[in-house]
Amino acid sequence: MAGTPGGTGTTAERRPGLWGGTVIYCTTGMMHAKSRAGSRRNAGVWGNGPIMILRGNLVLPDRVAAGRITFDGTIRAIAPDEVSGGDGPAEALYILPGFIDAHVHGGDGADTMDGAAAIRRMARFHLVHGTTTILPTTITRPWPDVMDALHAVAEVKQAGMADGPVIHGAHLEGPFVSPHRLGAQPPFAIAPDPHHVRAALQTGVVRVVTLAPELEHADSAIAAFAAAGVRVSIGHTVAGFEQAEQAICRICAAGGTAGGTHLFNAMGGIEGRRPGPATALLCSDAGHAELIFDTHHVHPASFRLAHRLLGDRLLFVTDAMRGAGQGDGISQLGGQEVTIRDGIARLPDGTLAGSVLTLDGALRNAIAAGTDLVDAAKLVSRNAAHYLGLRDRGALLPGLRADFVVMDREFMVREVWVGGERRF
């Protein structure tokens, strides 16, 4: 029989959290703690269908308030402290909604193009940095390699990951990009002809596609992807303002959701006399846009401009490559040598080659740039959920998934919960 914590008819315990102000309760079944030698981060909670409570500084959609969350796999209740006018005690931890990365190639030495085992490895790496929903992302390679990667994502998605984030699906970044605006993409760009579009859709796993709207067959591809519910993201393009604006309109007219792939990068910008797709996205009333906020891809002032204009339609992504988490040294992206130095990944010619960013790092960068915590949390969670149509996650609200990131006062990740299970 369940009861309130400490009440009659329950085996509930109250245990202080491992760091500061997080308190965990279990109101049914059993509550246990487990640990591995030398690592207090591995302590966990499980039981026979427990209702649990986390307590700390809750980062809600409209404010930060000390309080508690009651949950199992779903958030059952949010209870801010009535007496709290803001943060709780200085030692208390922050509880944020789980992060969502809609564009990530790899990490910890693994890449989406390497197959299912590599996808699991890179997903686990990003989990410990707060990512609870992830879209493994392809790169421009020969078409059979791209299809193999999509099938690998589908395999991992179907099997699920008990020790990682939710695999929502794949972001098909290549190969429907301009051969004249590859960035760090290898030179295997192709037009999105109906055969290739149909093959990609038949995998059932594509959730976002990057598309250069000036390519042959782009209009029919937009219609097909939009009809399938795939987000069509303008990127790696030499299109001008008008062509990009028309593409956004076509995507929306087809019932789709328009996006922009890594805003300001691999596209024309906001020059006064020659505006490009970046300007079209910033002027749009409907388009969403990714942004890589490692402060190398985008200057903080440009981020602030984009955030002011797009608001909740701006979402942070990592665009992380396999070298993320491995420090300085030599790595590779799509068969190309990449040098990582001082946290910046570059090809031999100096071109930025993805990033080594994680979403917790992007959150810290946003806060350092003057963004308040509520808006910073939306940039790594709720905004991506809205873009992807994930109505069951992205905020601390009753009825949504119990995906949480627990962070300390320096916004370092201390715990990660996925669907009510602690996975880090």
Active site residues: 319
Contact 298, 309 (CB under 8 A): no
Q: How far is CA 118 from CA 72, 111, 154, 396, in A?
A: 30, 6, 13, 31
Number of C-alpha atoms within 13 angstroms, CB side, residue 77?
Answer: 10
Residue 15 C-beta-side C-alpha neighbours within 13 Å: 19
- The structure tokens 């890589």 sit at 292
The two beta strands, 94-97 and 75-80, are unpaired
For the beta carbon of residue 246, count every other beta carbon within 10 angstroms: 14
Residues facing 167 on adjacent strands: 134
Nearest of 356, 419, 384 to residue 171 by alpha carbon: 384
Question: What's the half-sphere exposure (Cβ side, CA atoms, 13 Å) at 272?
Answer: 0
- Beta partners for 415? 406
Cite the beta strand spans of 256-403 per DSSP E. 258-260, 289-291, 314-316, 329-333, 336-341, 344-346
Amino acid at 414: R
Q: In what helix (H) or strand (E) does residue 304 lie, and over which residues does it extend?
A: helix 300-310
Nearest to 422 by CA among 102, 151, 35, 90: 35
